[in-house]
Structure 1
Amino acid sequence: MAALVAGVDPEHPLTGVIHAAGVLDDAVVTSQTPERLARVWEAKATAAAHLHAATADLRLGMFVMFSSAAGVMGSPGQANYAAANAFCDALAAHRRSLGMPGVSVAWGLWAESSEMTGNLTEADLARMARSGIAAMASDHALALLDAAVEHGGHQLIAADVNTRVLATQPPDALPAALRALVAASAGAGRTTERRTAAAAGAQPVDWAGRLAGMSADERRRVLLDLVRGHATTVLGHADAEAVQADTSFKDLGFDSLTAVELRNRLSAATGLRLPAALVFDYPEAAIVADYLLERLAPEEDASTGRTGADPALGELAKLEATLARLDVADGEAGAVTARLESLLATWKATRNLAGQKPDAAERKTATERLESASAAQVLDFIDNELGVS
């Protein structure tokens, strides 16, 4: 690289650099290898470092690196590519700190097929569209490149996003940059609850109340239809008949990426926090439906049709769904967490579940822990302590 730069004719000096090289070697994290990382890293990060070193003494007017939105927002199966592009983002910041030109443009999807995008299937494109990322025409992308060079920032995202689609995603499933974009475009009137419900394709559902009036067979059928419907969408089929209840997800064509999407869609539809390995732990639509039934409608007593705890468990299921949809600032979570801890302490004390009544100091310590807890930690508290997982 140094020899190449040194060989530039002084009569026509090098005045700018655009680094657009890159290769892909996608795989889920468990299938990544040092060799795969090295292949992707060398074309993107190592080449950028060599360009930086070889041109450090030149008076460049621009130093532009083609990065990827994968490095900013993440992309399933592209951990190695995300890391290499994040290096370019950091290099741009480093160059600016030295008073040198530098901008890293994190690109979204280009519509024109290339060596890097030519292997995308219709299902891949449909999945990206459902996530709110649309393909850009080349002339539009080149116009964004011109705008990025003129902008003055050192790290910019150039992508065609559908904010209406993004607004249907659960907020905690969106990268920070997209959450801010949705908040700016949606306005104050759109709540997290509405976004989460839209992600499931319906208005918020009181599952405990809806299932309570059904027979066991009806409950299972409704939840099986829910699972099959979302699986059909994820796989890109037009008819739910393509997803049979007793066919394994693996045989249906699910991989790690589509498995995560199905888990996310079912989580949004039910308001439940579902395990990351849902599709692998419960490998058929019928088995997932049975699992959801256990979570949403506690098992009934054979003689009476109901248990004494059924009303309370139903209310706790509603509370779990409400908290899953809740979108509050960290400072506001303290009141919620303190109240939850107080309720739990009272329940354990009156039912003698803890062996002995907690003293004031124990209550205070637990309350202080919850006041500083994140939203995820609050939900873990409910799962672990109230037994609704």
Structure 2
Amino acid sequence: DDRPLSAITPEQLERVLQSKAQSVRNLHELTLNHDLAAFVLYSSFGSLLPNVGQGAYAAANAYLDAFAEYRRSLGLPATSIAWGAWAGGGMAEEESFQEWIALGGMDLITPHLGVVALQQALDNGDTTVAIANVDWNRVAERSVAARPYPLISELIDPISHDAGAFGEDGPDPLERLAALSAPQRREELIDIVSAELATVLGHSGAQTLDAGQAFKELGIDSVTAIELRNRISRSTGVRFSPIAVFDHPNAEALAEYLSSLVPAADADGVAEAATPDPGDEEEPSRIDSLAIEDLVRLARGES
């Protein structure tokens, strides 16, 4: 039941929570008078780094993690494991699913390694533990690039998130865009925005998206808007505020806006250097400082 947080109703949240939250409470109450060697809960890695649109699912799994801590506070055994995706059956065998999790920096856990990790968690007496096959640098590109993420900041290598998408000797993307006619440039920018949007959202490709669909409906929020801006800027050389993602709320509208920012090429076909927005580096804090009413207004596309 994936959807943006703003679209989740209390009834939908209750439905998602019911299967895990109520079930663990039932198990807890039914086993209180039993001398258990272990009380193992299967949570999900999505409680730590949830995918776009999975707020309710993340909350349900976070409840399991919190309940394990609650049982430990009572002197009862409990271990909650936030699992990544397992190989060996189900959706994991579908190529589209494997591509989707790979975009987010994840790989499948083999059954053998999963069982070994489970036993290790029990032997160590862990209360809550995450077990997943993660490429932390790939995760950093998606999460830490948007804003500092203390939870995983010490697990990743230093990465220059300002590096361009092209090599030093490669073509300048801004010059290439400037050399195109206005209609060609607009189509090229729609393709770029759609491709980067698909990556940010974890889709298998831009072909799964409608360029006219609102970013809000797709699950873009203030954090993913910054990541989307960063990726588009690296791919195009165009500097712009992430607020533009809300002001121009679909791929077609944003591409039209970006086209207007591409400087005209000179007689030799070289684009004049774009003037960076002096407020670019402050955008994350600017977004954070907005009142809830302002964020809602921007998300709705109101001026």
TM-score of the aligned structures, taking structure 2 as reference length: 0.68
Return the match for 1:195 from 161, 177, 196: 161
- How far does residue 94 in structure 1 lie from its aligned partner after superposition? 1.0
- 2:79 equivalent to 1:111: no
Q: Which residue of 2 aligns with 1:179?
A: 153
User: Which string of whole-angstrom CA distances, capped at 9 and with x for unpartnered residues, describes residues 107-133 of structure 1?
Assistant: 11112333xx479771x5423212211
- 2:10 equivalent to 1:27: no
Q: Which residue of 1 aligns with 2:231?
A: 268
- 2:14 equivalent to 1:38: yes
- How far does residue 167 in structure 1 lie from its aligned partner after superposition? 3.9
**AA at the equivalent of 2:188:** D
**AA at the equivalent of 2:257:** Y
Q: Distance in 2 between matches of 1:215 and 1:295?
A: 10
Aligned ranges 1:154-303 → 2 under 5 Å: 154-169=127-142, 171-173=144-146, 175-182=149-156, 186=157, 190-191=158-159, 194-197=160-163, 201-202=165-166, 211=174, 217=180, 225=188, 227-229=190-192, 231-232=194-195, 234=198, 236-237=204-205, 248-250=211-213, 256-257=218-219, 264-270=227-233, 272-275=240-243, 281-284=249-252, 287-294=253-260
Sort the Cα spacing of 1:214 and 1:52 in 2 relative to 1 into closer, same or farther, 3 A: closer
**AA at the equivalent of 1:264:** E
Sort the Cα spacing of 1:165 and 1:264 in 2 relative to 1 into closer, same or farther, 3 A: same
Q: Distance in 2 between matches of 1:71 and 1:37?
A: 15
**AA at the equivalent of 2:63:** F
Task: Indicate the structure whose relative CO is greater, using CA pairs within 8 Å and at least 6 residues apart.
Answer: 2
Please state whether the residue corresponding to 2:39 is helix, strand or coil. Answer: strand
- 2:285 equivalent to 1:376: yes
Q: Distance in 1 between matches of 2:73 and 2:61?
A: 19
- 2:126 equivalent to 1:153: yes
Q: Do the aligned partners of 2:146 and 2:226 also contact (CA within 8 Å) in 1? A: no
- How far does residue 98 in structure 1 lie from its aligned partner after superposition? 1.6
Q: Do the aligned partners of 2:248 and 2:254 also contact (CA within 8 Å) in 1? A: no
Q: Which residue of 2 aligns with 1:371?
A: none
Q: Do the aligned partners of 1:220 and 1:289 also contact (CA within 8 Å) in 2? A: no
Q: Do the aligned partners of 1:108 and 1:158 also contact (CA within 8 Å) in 2? A: yes
Please state whether the residue corresponding to 1:26 is helix, strand or coil. Answer: coil
Please state whether the residue corresponding to 1:197 is helix, strand or coil. Answer: coil
Structural RMSD (CA): 4.4
Q: Distance in 1 between matches of 2:226 and 2:124?
A: 39
Report which stretch shifted further, 133-142 or 272-281.
Answer: 272-281
Identity %: 23
Sort the Cα spacing of 1:177 and 1:108 in 2 relative to 1 into closer, same or farther, 3 A: farther
Unaligned residue ranges in structure 1 (runs of 5+): 1-24, 300-309, 325-374, 385-389
Unaligned residue ranges in structure 2 (runs of 5+): 234-238, 265-271, 295-303
**AA at the equivalent of 2:153:** R
- How far does residue 161 in structure 1 lie from its aligned partner after superposition? 0.3
Aligned ranges 1:84-103 → 2 under 5 Å: 84-103=60-79
Q: Which residue of 2 aligns with 1:347?
A: none
Q: Which residue of 2 aligns with 1:49?
A: 25
TM-score of the aligned structures, taking structure 1 as reference length: 0.55
Q: Distance in 2 between matches of 1:72 and 1:170?
A: 12
Q: Distance in 1 between matches of 2:226 and 2:279?
A: 17
For the pair shown, the structure with the greater C-alpha radius of gyration is 1
Equivalent residue pairs, number: 269
Q: Do the aligned partners of 1:71 and 1:85 also contact (CA within 8 Å) in 2? A: yes
